Amino acid sequence: MKYEELNSKVIEYSHFISYISDMETYELLHLTKAAMDLYGMKGPEEYLGKKCYQVVMGLEQPCPFCTNDKIREGREYRWERYNENINRWFDRKSSVIDIEGRPCHLEVGQDITARKEELSLLSGKLTMEDVLFRCLNTLTREKNLDKAVKLFLEAVGGYHKADRAYIFELDYENKVVNSTFEWYKPGMKPRGEIMKDIPLDWVEQWNNKLEQEGELCVVSVEKEVDPNSMLYKEFKEDGVTSFMMVALKNGDTLEGILGVNNPKQEAGNPVLLHSVAEFVRVELEKRHMIRELEYLSYTDTLTGLKNRNNYNKVLKKFERKSALPMGIVLMDINGLRKINENYGDSYGDHMIRKVGGILSSVLTGEIFRIGGDEFVVLWENIDFLEFRKQMISLREALEKEQDCVVSMGCIWEEKEEDIHILLQQAAERLSADKQSYYQNLLREGRNDTCTGVAAEVIGEVKEGSFIVHYQPQVDIQTGKITGAEALVRKKEGDGGLIPPSKFIPFYEMEGVVSYIDLFVMKTACRDMKQWNEEGHKIHMSINFSRVTLLESGIVNNLKEICEDYKVSPSQITIEVTESISKMGHAQLKELIKEMNQAGFTISLDDFGSQYSNLSILSDMEFDEIKFDKSLIEDLEYNPKSRIVMENTVNMCRQLQGTSLAEGIETKGQLKLLMEYNCNYGQGFYFSKPVPKEMFADLLKNELKEK
């Protein structure tokens, strides 16, 4: 949120006399309550439609001293002017703000009539007036609060030739006084950190006097301060022999103290301090409001974590340059909607706060709550071992909370610099983890927790809307069937079949594709069990979405399915496409290793389609490369296709993997593939995908031929 926008909001709550007018028409758009009170108005209806020069200055024409030509957006103009219409002096600050695309004049005024009258009594002490103007100019023009107050206190301390100038603020809620700003002359030591959390009762007597009289001047600490008090000890340590203080009051409430220690000029005369006190209080109040608005703008009020605005701000930084290696965790609370429905929103809020607290206590990354039950954690420059250690600690902490069930997507990467790619990978892992959670509930018979597309898919699987067809895979040199690819189809209402290309992308997008993948796996294993018992030992290739393979414990789930149907994992080939590389380099290598250790073989499907990335072959250990039909279809007529195919098959052989060509439709294609020593093939030349009964007949016929 821009500073100017915050400032415009703060005006509504400040004590400034302020207005906003259209720079082209001079029409008044807004007067603060303080301004309406000053000009004797009860509400907006009394000034809307009137000109600023009419209401503010009592003129019939635009002011000859109008500052419209001196201001521009992003830059303020500071000036003083006597208003003859109401006989008051004002310190004015003019700036441009944009309201719905039109430039408007924002005028903020502070009544300085009393100060002008006080200064006139100082017998022409121009030095003090110069210092006063410098102080006010610094406070109101400098946008960095720390810098502004430091310069202001330096001017005050320098004028009084003091050792130290300071501001204390009272915290009535915690019953303490804090030194929030200080300036000290060269050679002195800072005392701000020491003068923190001073109990209010230490200074209660002085506070009472400041509330009543507005000032406190002590010429001799030795004589006027109780030697048994804690403040006397602090004064002695700091070498304070005298001081002056004035109250920073809001109405009758003492909010702070402005003071100087050991003043050597104008000692005992706090006129300058009084002159600036109200400016200091109002400026501090305004800036506290701005900081609070900024805090609320970037902080989640329910958990105290950083919010979506903060998250978007950090993302922009990473878009320019990510600090690698990078760790990311996406998390959401499972079943929060049901929790809110069953136990109420207050309990749901309790769960959100609990998860936020666990994240804060265990993780060192930047933690954001970006939605109702959604959390993101980002780490810069974290090594893998530390990332894994924190993930283990997080899971252990979450497991201790029986009522706190979450899904997570974790990613660590040392190469990829695009933050959005990493977030997408983490999101896919989160989706996979959530699918796994709901599948566990289904195994427990709790399908009432699934809604939307997930519920529809579960229902369709139970109703038999999906079937599996098998397309034979053959040994190219012998022509014998060695296995098959399991291909899912969806039944239409009229009895027709819908190919997977028409529904799988939608299920992937909705995060429910694993229900289909596991249905195909179970169906294929059930049929393989029957064929194994009949003496047909074949190999089965099954396609898996990378979203499914990202599920926590997916390898164990696949092993359990094999065990249930008494099928060896060595009979199963897991087919993946090049998109699997998007899951992250380290995680992909770990998955392939785990799959191989479990006995499964891994095939890289659709190789050669569009723009294949050869680097994936050098990085990953695939057992089989499956060539896309686009490489095969013009093999007989395109010399370049033959060169690519022959060399790619040879490359597979050198990588110690087998090769399989899909989409074989002609005898000429088969002959060339035989010459190139391609291992296996499938396509309409051998057979189209067929129901299990027809595939079983193909196996029986081949067994008879043997």
pLDDT per residue as tens digits for the range 276-322: 888 888 877 777 777 777 777 788 888 889 988 888 888 888 877 76
CB 358 within 8 A of CB 333: no
Task: Assess whether pLDDT exceeds 50 at residue 10.
Answer: no
pLDDT per residue as tens digits for the range 582-638: 666 667 778 888 999 999 999 988 887 755 566 677 777 788 989 888 889 888 888
Which pLDDT score, from 0 to 100, does residue 684 have? 93
Task: Assess whether pLDDT exceeds 90 at residue 571.
Answer: yes
DSSP labels, 345-401:
HHHHHHHHHHHHHHHHHH--SEEEE-SSSEEEEEEES--HHHHHHHHHHHHHHHHT-
In whole angstroms, give the CA distance from residue 474 to residue 267. 104
Q: What is the mean pLDDT of residues 575-581?
A: 75
Cα of 22 vs its chain's centroid, Å: 38
Higher pLDDT, 485 or 436: 485
Which pLDDT score, from 0 to 100, does residue 559 have? 93
Which domains does the chain possess?
A: 3-111 (3.30.450.20), 116-295 (3.30.450.40), 308-443 (3.30.70.270), 471-705 (3.20.20.450)
Task: Assess whether pLDDT exceeds 60 at residue 14.
Answer: no
Kindly report which listed range (10-14, 171-175, 408-412) carries the lowest average pLDDT score.
Answer: 10-14
Which pLDDT score, from 0 to 100, does residue 671 have? 94
pLDDT per residue as tens digits for the range 663-700: 999 999 999 999 999 999 999 999 999 999 999 999 88
Which pLDDT score, from 0 to 100, does residue 15 have? 66
Sheet containing 374-380, strands listed edge to edge, beginning at the edge strand earlier in sequence: 366-369, 374-380, 326-333, 406-413
Secondary structure of residue 477 in the 3-state scheme: coil
Q: What is the mean pLDDT of residues 495-521?
A: 81
* H-type alpha helices, 177-321: 204-213, 221-224, 230-238, 271-298, 308-320
In whole angstroms, give the CA distance from residue 97 to residue 8. 9
DSSP labels, 661-691:
EE---SHHHHHHHHHTT--EEESTTT---B-
Q: What is the mean pLDDT of residues 115-143?
A: 62
Element (H, E) at 97: strand 88-99
Kindly report which listed range (41-50, 126-135, 481-490, 555-564) carries the lowest average pLDDT score.
Answer: 126-135
What is the percentage of the chain residues whose pLDDT exceeds 70? 88
Higher pLDDT, 261 or 201: 261
Q: What is the mean pLDDT of residues 105-121?
A: 75
Give the pLDDT band (50/70/90) at residue 508. Answer: confident
Instruction: Report which listed range, 116-125, 137-146, 492-501, 531-540, is most confident.
Output: 531-540
User: What is each CA distance from 300 to 187, 292, 318, in whole angstroms?
Assistant: 44, 13, 21
Q: What is the mean pLDDT of residues 465-486?
A: 93
Q: What is the mean pLDDT of residues 123-148?
A: 66
Which pLDDT score, from 0 to 100, does residue 296 have? 74
pLDDT per residue as tens digits for the range 181-190: 999 988 888 8
Token pair, residue 188, equals 């002195």
Which pLDDT score, from 0 to 100, does residue 612 have? 57
- As a whole number, the mean pLDDT across the chain is 83
3-class DSSP string for 310-357: HHHHHHHHHHHCCCCCEEEEEEEECCHHHHHHHHCHHHHHHHHHHHHH
Higher pLDDT, 68 or 435: 68
| Half-sphere exposure at residue 12, Cβ-oriented, CA atoms within 13 angstroms | 6
Sign of CA dihedral 278, 282, 287, 289: positive
pLDDT per residue as tens digits for the range 235-268: 888 899 999 999 998 888 888 899 999 999 888 8
Higher pLDDT, 487 or 547: 487
Which pLDDT score, from 0 to 100, does residue 475 have? 93
Task: Assess whether pLDDT exceeds 50 at residue 124.
Answer: no
Higher pLDDT, 687 or 509: 687
Q: What is the mean pLDDT of residues 58-80?
A: 84
Give the pLDDT band (50/70/90) at residue 13. Answer: very low
Which pLDDT score, from 0 to 100, does residue 126 have? 41
Which pLDDT score, from 0 to 100, does residue 438 have? 66
Task: Assess whether pLDDT exceeds 70 at residue 356.
Answer: yes
User: What is each CA distance from 85 to 68, 109, 490, in whole angstroms?
Assistant: 20, 15, 84
Token pair, residue 452, equals 């939307």
Q: What is the mean pLDDT of residues 532-557?
A: 86
In whole angstroms, give the CA distance from residue 112 to residue 132. 12
pTM of the model: 0.50
pLDDT per residue as tens digits for the range 631-669: 898 888 888 888 888 988 888 888 778 999 999 999 999
Secondary structure of residue 118 in the 3-state scheme: helix
Give the pLDDT band (50/70/90) at residue 455. Answer: low
Which pLDDT score, from 0 to 100, does residue 148 have? 79
Q: What are the backbone angles phi and psi of residue 441, rounded to the nearest 5°?
A: -65, -40
Which pLDDT score, from 0 to 100, does residue 3 have? 41
